[in-house]
Amino acid sequence: MNELATQFGKNVRRTRKAKGIAQERLALLTGIDRSYVGRIERGEVNITLEKVYIISATLECELSELLPTPVQKFLPQ
């Protein structure tokens, strides 16, 4: 699995749970299939930038809250 996708997925799951939103509800609100939301949270897929923005807006959080940090860790050497 891609470390970037894994960390992003963990951040989505943490934020979703902190807001008391079930995975199924997030899927419904975003228009993303529930099984795909699960795959996002497990870091199994590289999602589009459009979906990143949709998830951020749905969770009512800053995009930066979902992105892995520090960014330098993920830059090519």
What domains does the chain contain, in order, with CATH numbers?
3-63 (1.10.260.40)
User: Measured between alpha carbons, how far is 72 from 77 in angstroms, rounded to an integer?
Assistant: 9
pLDDT per position as a tens digit, 59-70: 999 999 999 886
On average, the pLDDT of the chain sits at 92
pLDDT at 55: 98
pLDDT at 77: 62
CB crowding 2-32: b at 16 or more within 10 Å, else e: eeebebbbebbbebbeeeebebeebbeebeb
pLDDT per position as a tens digit, 31-55: 999 999 999 999 999 999 999 999 9
pLDDT at 1: 54
